[in-house]
Structure 1
Amino acid sequence: MSILLAAVLLSGCSDESPDSAAATKADSSTQLAAEVAVEREPVAPAILSPGVGSIPSLPPPAPESAAGMSPDASSASAPPPELATPPVAPGPAEVQLPAPSPTKMAPPAALPMLSIIIDDVGHSRAAGERIIALPAPVALAIMPFTRNAQALATLAAEAGKPVMLHLPMENLAGLSMGEGGLSTQMSRTVFDAQLQASLNAFTPIQGVNNHMGSKLTADRERMDWLMTQLAARQLFFVDSRTNKETQAAFAAQASGVANVSRDVFLDNLRTPVELEREFKLVLARARKQGAAVLIGHPYPETLAFLEQQLPGLEAREGVQLVSVQALLTRPH
């Protein structure tokens, strides 16, 4: 029986055609490739028809995750250790710097200022016209009740030159004051009446300065009387400083009267050398203080000197000629 069964089986094997044998060999190669593939990379289980020779079902692959990924897949996605990017330490926070401000040019330095006043005007029209013709805002301080007072005041105003009342005041030497003078012996009523008459002697009047006055300007009570009247008319005052004990500036400040004081007298001596010396002195004062006031008189020597010196003075000396009003806020 065993010999007969073996013979049957051998006969069945010999009946297989070459094509069938090749097919069987091909199926075996395919199955081997599939099994190798299963080992290299997990795939979904194959669904095979039931029957002899079917491949048992494989368990489902584990879900891919950072922790559960297969060793091959993990090594395929991660860069080699030597190529991994090192962590970058955080740098300091960026500081926002303010935008640079536009460059500001420093304003040009102001030139020193010089103001000139000519006293005792009104007696000579020719002298007054020479003053008006000077190439600078030279102030005319006109004596009240003089023959040419009104004519020169009108011409000066039309030329844009400052016009002042040169008010006569009592002096320590006992010299004649002239018409319209104020003295320390006057009562308040007489003082005010005389002052009003002088202020009305000509027009226009922008300010007042003292003619002589070394005695009266040291009298604080009468300086207060004077400044009360000037404040009512909104006039300024220039103290000629004929006495170092003058109270004029203090009284002016108390009454709110704009005021300034003289620095240099130009022509106490009228020789060319002395005129030059005093003029250089006032220029030096202007440079040192920032401003200065020069007072002269209508002497022929003085006018000739100014006619020579004033043209081109700013370019030559670096000192600007200004009206006396420009200096009224200067500290005393």
Structure 2
Amino acid sequence: MGNNITQGRRLIEMDQPLTLAFLPYRRHTRALAKSAHANRKEIMLHAPMANTRRLSLGPGGLEAGMGEHGITGTLRRALKAIPHVKGVNNHMGSLLTQQLAPMRWIMSELDRYPLYFVDSRTIASSVAADAARDRRIPHLSRDVFLDHKTTTEYVDAQFQKLIATARRNGTAIAIGHPHKVTVDYLEKHLPELDQQGIAVATVSSLWAMRHDNRRMFVEGEKQAVAPALAKKDE
């Protein structure tokens, strides 16, 4: 989220309690995040992380070569640039999430705040969840990607896989992107889930379901993420 205002607004206006992940410093990130929060959506930082294909990360990107100070400082500024942020997941990251030291630096920074981490699992050998567990960061991992291919047929097949996974395990996490085909599909099919006995939940609510309705954090035990009009990293 953050680049496309039209699809962003459509997702925000959906009735279901979606969790929306925002790239830092994009043109519409701050306005859409504020609107999403007002419409009862949960907000994450979609943190760009180094990938094996060497695709550009854009502003706020995290790479191992930045070192601990560079990674934690860049992450801290990105968090402050996302209004109402409750958690973090990785954008790309097929390279960085395989490297334990950088993931430990990231979790060390997240440990300062009342934030959770969702491993997007862009590669099967990710150690992100392990690093989060070691630091006792509340964490979850993606089960299904909805739109690796941007066709209605593919999104539908993945959505059915999501439902099957949720029925089998009790809960499931899907990640999609603000592509028109994905938003069109969700707009049509999310309202049908109630009739199938399936509820949509935010990441925080889903985590609570998996942990006997325990709260993630004791009030006051962590410092709040102080909002700031952060500038793009050069």
TM range (shorter): 0.7 to 0.9
SS at match of 1:238: strand
CA displacement at 1:250 relative to structure 2 = 0.9
Match of 2:201 in 1: 322
Structure showing greater radius of gyration is 1
* TM-score, length basis structure 1: 0.62
CA displacement at 1:312 relative to structure 2 = 3.0
Q: How far, CA to CA, are the matches of 1:322 and 1:194 in structure 2?
A: 30
* TM-score, length basis structure 2: 0.87
Match of 1:139 in 2: 19
Which residue among 176, 179, 185 is the counterpart of 1:305?
Answer: 185
SS at match of 1:310: helix
Which residue among 102, 107, 122 is the counterpart of 1:222?
Answer: 102
CA displacement at 1:201 relative to structure 2 = 1.4
Q: How far, CA to CA, are the matches of 1:295 and 1:264 in structure 2?
A: 6
- Per-residue CA deviations over 1:131-189 (Å, capped at 9, x if unaligned) read 01112111110000001111011111111100010000000111111111011111111
Matches within 5 A, 1:198-277: 198-277=78-157
CA displacement at 1:194 relative to structure 2 = 1.1
* Counterpart residue type for residue 78 of structure 2: S
Matches within 5 A, 1:107-118: none
Q: How far, CA to CA, are the matches of 1:254 and 1:327 in structure 2?
A: 21
Match of 1:286 in 2: 166
Gaps of 5+ in 1: 1-120
Greater RCO (Cα-Cα under 8 Å, separation 6 or more): 2
Match of 1:166 in 2: 46
Does structure 2 retain, via aligned residues, the 8 Å contact 1:214–1:242?
yes
* Counterpart residue type for residue 292 of structure 1: A
Does structure 1 retain, via aligned residues, the 8 Å contact 2:152–2:182?
no
Q: How far, CA to CA, are the matches of 1:274 and 1:192 in structure 2?
A: 37
Does structure 2 retain, via aligned residues, the 8 Å contact 1:260–1:327?
no
Does structure 2 retain, via aligned residues, the 8 Å contact 1:182–1:194?
yes
Q: How far, CA to CA, are the matches of 1:190 and 1:167 in structure 2?
A: 14
Identity of aligned residues (%): 40
Aligned length: 210
Point out the more displaced range, 143-152 or 320-329: 320-329
Match of 1:21 in 2: none
